[in-house]
Amino acid sequence: MAALDGRTAIVTGAGQGVGRGIALALAAAGARVAVVGRTLDKVEGVAAEIGDAARAFRCDVKDAASIDALVAAVVGAFGGIDILVNNAQEVPLGPLAEVSDEAFAAGFESGPLASFRLMKACHPHLKASGQGVIVNLATSAAVRWDMSGYGAYAAVKEATRILTRAAAAEWGVDGIRALTIAPHADSPGLKAWIEGRPEEAEAFFRTIPLRRIGRCEEDIGRAVAALCGPEFGYFTGATVPLDGGQANFD
């Protein structure tokens, strides 16, 4: 019997990269997966990879009504929600003087505000599950040795990390665990960063003790699946740096 048999997971931003890797790994561990994204054909492709245990759902996480409709649709399709993975995020990158108000606001709307809304919308179902788990995504950019060019991005992600800690403290009594992961993975976004800033990327890789970038499914997805399983049933409120040992969140 797989560790997540009978459980239902929502994964946002699951059409590619880390979200896709998490969706695939959760399904491999036995979960039914709501594969969620803005671009329906992408999430339909991932759902097809998974097979009968998955369904694709379109959702704009910046829109509150779309979030409410998503949660209702997932409950209607699967009967409940046991796991919520908030992965979708628009990333405001660049020096502070060059990041527009619009880009910064979009980062908050798609990140901490969307996570906040989804957490609240899913709360009754996660509570009813008796073994609900929330996994939110942060970034080790928040603890970089040089924050230049990453301040707006890290600020957005740190807001999500704090919300996760608050959920762990407030909702533990409801049987809900809340965790943050901070992954390095070979996602399309990271590949674009490597191509755009090769010298910075090379220097960055030398700071990773394991000397490699994580794989979306094998390293990040499988870790998330394990964290959602019964072996970690007493683990909550923490930030887990899935980054080959590079970050220090102490």
Catalytic (active-site) positions: 153
Q: Which residues pair with 83 in a beta bridge?
A: 9, 133
Burial of 189 (0-12, 13-18, 19+ CB in 10 A): middle
Instruction: For CA atoms 53, 60, 139, 91, give the dihedral sign.
Output: positive
Residue 244 Rama label (left phi>0; alpha psi -120 to 50; beta): left
For the residues of 138-179, what is the DSSP string, one character each?
A: --GGGG-S--TTTHHHHHHHHHHHHHHHHHHHHHGGGTEEEE
C-alpha dihedral sign at 59, 61, 62, 65: positive
DSSP letter at 200 equals H
Contact, 191 vs 213, CB < 8 A?
A: no
132's enclosing H/E stretch is: strand 132-137
Collapse the DSSP code of 184 into the 3-class scheme (helix H, G, I; strand E, B; otherwise coil) and give the result: coil
Other CB atoms within 10 A of residue 106 CB:
17
Pairing, β 54-58 against β 176-181: unpaired
**What residue type is assigned to position 145 of the chain?**
W
